Each structure stands twice: as C-alpha cells, then as structure tokens.
Amino acid sequence: MQEEARVFLDQTQRDGVTLIELRGRADIYSSNALRQSLLEIIDSGKIDLIIDLDGLDHIDSSGLAALVWVFEKTSLSGGSLKFVCSKAPVLNALTASGFNRAIPIHNRVEEYFN
C-alpha cells in the first residue's frame, strides 16, 4: 500500500518578496495540491517568490513539473522566481533537469537579501 505522500507549505513576506518553505515530498501524489496552493499565492498578487526546497525529502518529475509551472505563471505575471536548495538529492534533481540555467538557486535564503 502506498503511504500517503504530502507536501506542506509555509509562507512569509520579507522585503516585498514572498518566501515559501516546502516540506515533505513533491511527487506524483502531492504535485496537484502543491500547484493549487502556489496558484492561490500567485493569484493573490504575490508574484515575486523565493521557494525554499530544503524541507523536501524527495522530488520527482511531477514535483519538478509543478515548479516549471510556477516559473511560467510568475514570469507571465511579471514576477520572479528563485530557489533555495542545499540538500543533495533535491539539488541534483534540479541541476539534472536544467533548472539552474533558468532559475537562480542559492544555498541559503539570506544570500538573496545581502
């Protein structure tokens, strides 16, 4: 039996940017919920986003697809998207998929504010 996979999201505001912290698993079982939660944030007018991925235990192609979708939504809205990620498994998935060529990825949130 498949254990129910979940992704959790916390958001805060800092210097006009919405910081979103993800925890859990961004995979086929949670990607639709992740997409819906992020859509609500973007639709509320918060289009400059930093997504902290260090709380994720796992990300698969469905989770990556949700992040591509967020990139497209923020770009079309005139906003920006940046990632924080220092955990090797998630960072490896991002770099293998080419995210680092299109979206800034830093090891710590503070690097964006210095």
pLDDT in tens, 74-107: 999 999 999 999 999 999 999 999 999 999 999 9
Decide if pLDDT at 1 tops 50: no
pTM value? 0.93
What confidence tens digit (pLDDT) does each residue in 15-61 have?
A: 999 999 999 999 999 999 999 999 999 999 999 999 999 999 999 99
Count the domains in the chain: 1
- Residues 75 and 48: their CA atoms lie apart, in Å, by 9
Domain assignment of residue 67, given as a range: 19-112
Give the CATH number for residue 41: 3.30.750.24
CA dihedral (38, 62, 85, 104) positive or negative: negative
CA dihedral (60, 26, 45, 43) positive or negative: positive
59 lies in some domain: yes
Q: What is the pairing mode between strands 17-26 and 48-59?
A: parallel
